[in-house]
C-alpha cells in the first residue's frame, strides 16, 4: 500500500515539475526522486500558494510583468543572484549548466551571510525561492536550493 501511494505521489510530481505542489516545469530533483520539504522553488509567474512559507525572490532583475502584489514576496535578495557577468555568460544555455553551477557555487561561497540567513529561515519554516527564468530545471534557484539543503543536512 505504501509503495503504491509513493508511486502515485512521484508520478504526480513528475507531471507537475519542480517538486513543489502546484508548480510548473521539470527539474532534476523530480527525475531523481529527491524533493525538498524545506526549500521549494517556484517561478515568479506561478501564483503563490498558502504553503509557500517565506517567499524570497532570488533574481537580480525583477520578473517582467509581475506586480509586487502578485509576487507576494517576503524578501527580495538581489545580491544572492549570480553576478551580471555569470548570468549573461550562462544565458540559460543547458550546455553550460554544469559550469554555471560550479561558478555560481563559488560566488555563493563568497556571500556566506546571505546564504546563512536563508538557511536559518529554512530551519524554522519552509522557504520558497522565487525566480523568473522560463527553465525551471536550469536556473540559479535550483543551485541555491541545493546549497541550502546541503547546509541544512550538515547542521
Find the DSSP H helices in 72-139. Answer: 84-90, 97-109, 112-124
| Residue 77: strand, helix, or coil | coil
**pLDDT at residue number 35:** 56
Looking up cell 544555455, which residue turns up?
93
The SS3 call for residue 122 is helix
* pLDDT at position 131: 97
**What does the pLDDT read at residue 111?**
82
**Any idea how long the chain is?**
155
The rounded distance, in Å, linking the Cα atoms of 74 and 78 is 13
Between CA 2 and CA 126 the distance in angstroms is 25
Q: Are 87 and 81 in contact (CB under 8 A)?
A: yes
CA 121 to mean position of chain CA atoms:
14
Strand partners, 41: 129
pLDDT at 20: 52
Q: What does each of the 155 residues of the chain score in pLDDT, given as a tens digit?
A: 544 444 444 444 444 444 454 444 444 443 333 456 899 999 999 999 999 999 999 999 999 999 999 999 999 999 999 999 999 999 989 999 999 999 999 999 998 899 999 999 999 999 999 999 999 999 999 999 999 999 999 87
Q: Provide the total of helices (H) and of strands (E) in the chain, helices listed first.
A: 7, 4
Amino acid at each position: 500500500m505504501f509503495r503504491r501511494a509513493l508511486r502515485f505521489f512521484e508520478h504526480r510530481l513528475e507531471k507537475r515539475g519542480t517538486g513543489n505542489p502546484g508548480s510548473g516545469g521539470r527539474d532534476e530533483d523530480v527525475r531523481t526522486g529527491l524533493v525538498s520539504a524545506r526549500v521549494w522553488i517556484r517561478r515568479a509567474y506561478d501564483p503563490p500558494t498558502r504553503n509557500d512559507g517565506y517567499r524570497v525572490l532570488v533574481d537580480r532583475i525583477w520578473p517582467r510583468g509581475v506586480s509586487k502584489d502578485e509576487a507576494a514576496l517576503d524578501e527580495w535578495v538581489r545580491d544572492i543572484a549570480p553576478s551580471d557577468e555569470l548570468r549573461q555568460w550562462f544565458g540559460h544555455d543547458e550546455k553550460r549548466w554544469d559550469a554555471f553551477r560550479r561558478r555560481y557555487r563559488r560566488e555563493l561561497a563568497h556571500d556566506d551571510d546571505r546564504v546563512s540567513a536563508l538557511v536559518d529561515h529554512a530551519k524554522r519554516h519552509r522557504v520558497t525561492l522565487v525566480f523568473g527564468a522560463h527553465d525551471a530545471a536550469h536556473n540559479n534557484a535550483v543551485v541555491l536550493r541545493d546549497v541550502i539543503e546541503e547546509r541544512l543536512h550538515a547542521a
